[in-house]
Structure 1
Amino acid sequence: MSMYPQVQERVQHEIADVIGSGRRIEFKDKSRLTYTEATVLEVMRMTTIAPFALPKLTVKDTTLKGYDIDKETVVFFNLHSISYDKEFWGDPQTFRPERLIDANNKLNLEKCNRILPFGLGRRRCVGEFLARMEQFLLFANVIRRCRFSKPAGESYDMEPDPGLVYSPKAFCVVVEERQ
């Protein structure tokens, strides 16, 4: 959020308008905080931690988009390429939560379903629901109470350190309590 202060401010305004300041944000509030949820999803899209899903094994000879795949071939889903598909996202390098919101101020499910940080299929992460719930609650409750900003002279390199799991490069951030 320190990199995108206008997004941070919009999330904070949405929370103030929808929830107010009298109580903690609860999971039941998620459906009413569309921009906040879109922001969480856009962060997950852009910061793929695991670039590949766990390997799968084909159970029969298959043809996929003109390619023959033999039975018992190990297949990897490139989750990073799905998140950065220019044909689908248009400008995948740009952080833009509103891309996930339709004209009725609802989440665009076609686009949201292309964000796959927990894998896909029957063997997707079993903790996905709990992780999504906790991630939303943590983000919304912290962003409501804190302002994040870049220290003077700090620059961020958003390219991850590559590996089996992507890691962020070191950075500094200022966190201030909001009044």
Structure 2
Amino acid sequence: MIEHEVTGWLDRITLGISRVAMWAPACIVGIVAYEVFMRYVLGKPTLWVNEMSLWVGGGIYLTSGLYALQQRSHIRIFIFYDGAPLWLRRTFDVASVLCVCAFAAAVVWGGFGEAKAKLLRWETFGTAFDPPIPATVKPLILLTMVLLALQSISNLVHDWNKEPEVHDPADDLDIAH
């Protein structure tokens, strides 16, 4: 896969976050392998592996959309988009960005109080390991929403005068000749 070009400071932030998220599944595999070894070989199961894998996996899930958006690999209905004139494509793009920004604003507006409360009281998960998953994930949701909205605006600005891509359904077929 060839990555999309870096078009500004926000792309660098998104790619930095994405690089961490890309390596995080290997971290999960490592700690689960450690748990298997401790439990079944040494007979001493851990208290922390399950919650840690949930915590790391939640971070991956939240931030992966940023990378998809920066790479312009989000869902677009090309059968309508490619056949539309430039003015209508731009209308689609602006409408899409407005929807993303409205959603992000609603999530931040509705979740700010709860995220702030969980962070300030350092709310924990309530298990034997008791990690501060709610105290960290709730604010991460809001931060990710802000970055997602900014990334969509950045993409719109940088792609505004770009030549439209043409998509052929045959591109999706993996036919070796």
Question: TM-score w.r.t. structure 1 length?
Answer: 0.28
- Structure 1 or 2, whichever has the larger Rg, is 2
Higher strand proportion (structure 1 or 2): 1
Q: TM-score, normalised by structure 2?
A: 0.28
* Structure with greater helix percent: 2
